[in-house]
Amino acid sequence: MSKTKDVREAVEAELTFDPLVDATDIKVVNMNGDVALNGTVPSYPQYVEAAAAAQRVDGVKNVHNHLEVVLPPGDSRDDATLTTTANNALALNITVPDSVEAIARNGNIALTGTVDYGTDRTAAEMTVAGLTGVRNVKDDIEISNDADPVGVTLNVQDALDRYSLIPDDSDIMVDTSGNTVTLSGHVRTWAEHDAVIDASWMAPGVYDVRDDLTITG
């Protein structure tokens, strides 16, 4: 059995195994570890979870999520209702700053505002992602803190040194220019990859993280 078929079948099995994903209408294509997910899912959380499930599979180097969210009958919300629901949810979440606002258009939610940390942005995204009627989330939230490039690089590197998932002989390089962190080097798994990305977003003043990491599998 070819390695290509092994990876594809493993991703299909993981999607079927994951209770948070309805894999009925998902088609998996694999090309040397580059996996594409095509088809439809009935909710935005399933759109996100399907990609996460594929990333867990050994041999997957990249995931291209081409899934479309097709809401079931009765789950659609008009723009005004979904906008109000999203903003109420943001206001009730103490981890989301008051400056963040949402507006909905055809089930697509755009988040705007200013926050201090990348983790604030993540909290806002997670707050609205699971609302009924959401088809996609676009994060246009800005980060206000000015970053000291040297300080950010040291903070991120120290965090990576503390993480149990990152081996001591890791060749990960952290480079900061303004408010943007660029990560390069090699990681073995998507779990390591996500740990590195998460550490970078936790540093104060980071506005963007450029992911140049290579997953070796």
* Class of CATH domain 3-69: alpha beta
The helix (run of H) or strand (run of E) holding residue 119 is helix 118-129
pLDDT of residue 35: 96
What does the chain come to in residues?
Answer: 217
Q: Does the domain at residues 149-215 carry the CATH identifier 3.20.20.140? A: no
Is the pLDDT confidence value at 161 over 50? yes
Query: Considering the entire predicted model, what is its pTM?
Result: 0.75
Nearest-5° angle of CA 180, CA 185, CA 188?
120
CATH 3.30.1340.30 residue spans of the chain: 3-69, 149-215
- CATH code of 79-143, in short, is 3.30.1340
pLDDT tens-digit readout, 2-31: 555 699 999 999 999 999 999 999 999 999
pLDDT of residue 145: 67
pLDDT tens-digit readout, 120-156: 888 999 999 999 999 999 999 988 766 677 877 888 8
pLDDT of residue 149: 79
pLDDT of residue 1: 44
The three-class DSSP label of residue 105 is strand
Reported as half-sphere exposure (CB side, CA atoms, 13 A), residue 59 has a value of 16
